[in-house]
Amino acid sequence: MEELSALYTAVMYSSMGFISAKKIVLDNSSGKVWLIGGSVYRNIAHILYGADKPKVDFDFIIESPKENIILPKGWKLGKNHYGNPKFLGRRFSIDFVPLHNISSILRRKLAPSIKNYLTGTPLTVQSIAYDVKGGKLAGEIGLKAIAEKTIGINNKEQAQIYALKKGISIEEMVRRKSESLGFTPLIRQ
């Protein structure tokens, strides 16, 4: 995992989008910061298997957001689907998610932690995070899914909520995500 973390770090730090997004997020937070979502698992799939390079958008979990948001010139501030701040730029957007406001953690009445976030992602491949300050990947379930090139359900209740929002079945959601990465879906027939 150390080698993959170093390779992922090198790839991300060659991206001006990531460097800009990281600065915006660090200017508006203190404590730990994790990059999550497709920016992590899709880039790793791209690095390891040549999967399509992901479109640029960044989702960050923030341990301690600052009270007053500093909005960079040329950026707008909106809200994501969960009511969290979303920085809107011309080339990409940044979801800015306070750790204490993650829906799966709140729903399950768990302490806000990255470990509890990872147990609540809908799909296995999503159970991964990149510690921005430490330069390390976390999430055994997500890393295993990527290594095995499979996608399954990580948290059934969260998967149902997510699929319902998309208006599709869980099985269809797993199939679509698997096809987009060239992975094998792990669903019951």
Average pLDDT, the chain: 94
pLDDT exceeds cutoff 90 at 55: no
pLDDT exceeds cutoff 50 at 44: yes
* 172 token code pair: 């269809």
What is the spatial distance between Cα 89 and Cα 31, in angstroms, rounded to a whole number? Answer: 24
pLDDT exceeds cutoff 60 at 82: yes
Per-residue model confidence (pLDDT) at position 189: 46
- Of residues 38 and 54, more confidence is placed in 38
- Of residues 55 and 44, more confidence is placed in 44
pLDDT exceeds cutoff 50 at 96: yes
Confidence of residue 188 (pLDDT cuts 50, 70, 90): low
Mean pLDDT of 27-33: 96
Q: Residue 57's closest CA among 78, 27, 36? A: 36
Q: Do 174 and 185 contact (CB within 8 A), yes or no?
A: yes
What are the residues whose beta carbons fall under 8 Å from the beta carbon of 50, sequence distance 6 or more?
none
pLDDT exceeds cutoff 90 at 89: yes
- Global pTM value: 0.94
Buried b / exposed e along 77-105 (16+ C-beta atoms within 10 A): eeeeeeebbbbebeebbbbbbbbeebbbb
Instruction: List domains and CATH numbers for the chain.
Output: 2-148 (3.30.460.10)
pLDDT exceeds cutoff 80 at 163: yes
User: Tell me: the pLDDT tens digits for 103-137?
Assistant: 999 999 999 999 999 999 999 999 999 999 999 99
